[in-house]
Amino acid sequence: MGVDRPAVHAGPWFPPVAGAPVEGLPLLCLPHAGGGATAYRTWPHALTPYARAVPVQLPGREDRFGEPPVRSAAVLAAQLADAVAAHPVTRDGCALFGHSMGALLAFELAHELIARGRPPVHVFVSAYRAPQLPRRTRDVHLRDDAGLCEFLAELEGTQAELLRHPELLEVLLPVIRADFELCETYRYRLRRRLDVPVTVLGGRHDAGVPPEDLDAWAEVSGERFAVELFDGGHFYLRQRQAAVLSVVAEALRGRRRA
């Protein structure tokens, strides 16, 4: 069992979490559209001894608010791969977990890391239809603020109170809009299947990502592929966190890094 130590500062991409374990395989956790590292604030203490969750902070949010958000999945994946190579937290390998937009980023980052000779040991993608499928939405990032807020309310991923505060929306909406642009303008490129284990997770009642859209990840994955469904909608993992982390920990069992 690892011992809690002061968190290693690994640059803006991997903000330290006070008191979190610093031993074990790093699981880079990529957020949903508009989300930041705090979306995974409770994860770093929950996966030991098999792994340690490392929330990823993308440009334009939380303590990186002063930076412009990136509107291209390929560009962002390349920047993330640079960060993975540059910082001690991930120098000996990592696994990837991405929810919603984060799943698309995990997919692109996995390909980028493989191309650089640093393949992830496992990729977890959550609540996002397979990348080779056409996008279900193409105009969300083009809607006015009211239309964008209406869409966010339907997803039930943004607290209703936030949507009623103009000063908060002024900060949040540009980042959310940029993230939807990233997803809606994404163009899938035909490449070799991911030759790493892939686990796809989703909510049984997620109207926007039905089970068949999750199953389609098999077309871009290798033989080591699995699908796990949980009760709930698009943000099922908030209510089913313990069950989700159990699946992740079991998949990473035996890959513990001291």
Active centre residues (catalytic) = 100
CB-CB contact of 30 with 54 (8 Å): no
How many Cα atoms sit within 13 Å of 33 on the Cβ side?
A: 28
Among residues 135, 109, 134, the alpha carbon closest in space to that of 122 is found at 109
The whole-angstrom separation of Cα 195 and Cα 192 is: 8
The whole-angstrom separation of Cα 183 and Cα 186 is: 5
Among residues 118, 116, 61, the alpha carbon closest in space to that of 90 is found at 118
Of the chain, the end-to-end C-alpha distance in Å amounts to 9
Distance of CA 255 to the CA centre of its chain: 20
CB-CB contact of 34 with 158 (8 Å): yes
CB-CB contact of 96 with 30 (8 Å): yes
The whole-angstrom separation of Cα 34 and Cα 26 is: 23
The whole-angstrom separation of Cα 52 and Cα 39 is: 15
Residues, the chain, total?
A: 258
* Residue tagged 């939807």 (tokens): 180
